[in-house]
Amino acid sequence: MTAMSITTSPVFQRITEILDQKFGIAGEDVKPETVLEDVELDSLALIEVALVLQKQLGVQIRTEDLSGSATIADLYELVNVAVEGS
């Protein structure tokens, strides 16, 4: 999937909303190539991201699949696969 089609996806839009509302990350900072560490999401914050995604989207994201060096596109892929699998 291209960066353009990722950003227009409802799943990506929902991730953007969650990162903005729950973690204070401005929408313009949420791009597919953005590294999670670059928007101040450390390992503890990534656990919280996984929990919020589970609560709000009903998807299980294993925290060991997330690392600070992952990108928003990587997070999108994990969520998208989980959504499609549910």
Find the CATH number of the domain harbouring 39: 1.10.1200.10
Rounded-to-integer distance, Cα 63 and Cα 70, Å: 12
Q: Please check the confidence at residue 1 and state whether its pLDDT lies above 80.
A: no
Nearest CA to 72 among 37, 34, 45? 34
Please tell me the predicted confidence (pLDDT) of residue 86. 66
Please tell me the predicted confidence (pLDDT) of residue 84. 82
pLDDT tens digits for range 17-63: 999 999 999 989 999 999 999 999 988 999 999 999 999 999 998 88
Buried b (16+ CB within 10 A) or exposed e, 33-57: ebebbebebeeebbeebbebbeeeb
Domain containing residue 24: 3-85
Nearest CA to 7 among 71, 84, 68, 56? 71
Question: Structurally, how many domains does the chain consist of?
Answer: 1
Please tell me the predicted confidence (pLDDT) of residue 4. 60
- The lowest-confidence range among 1-10, 28-37, 42-51, 70-79 is 1-10
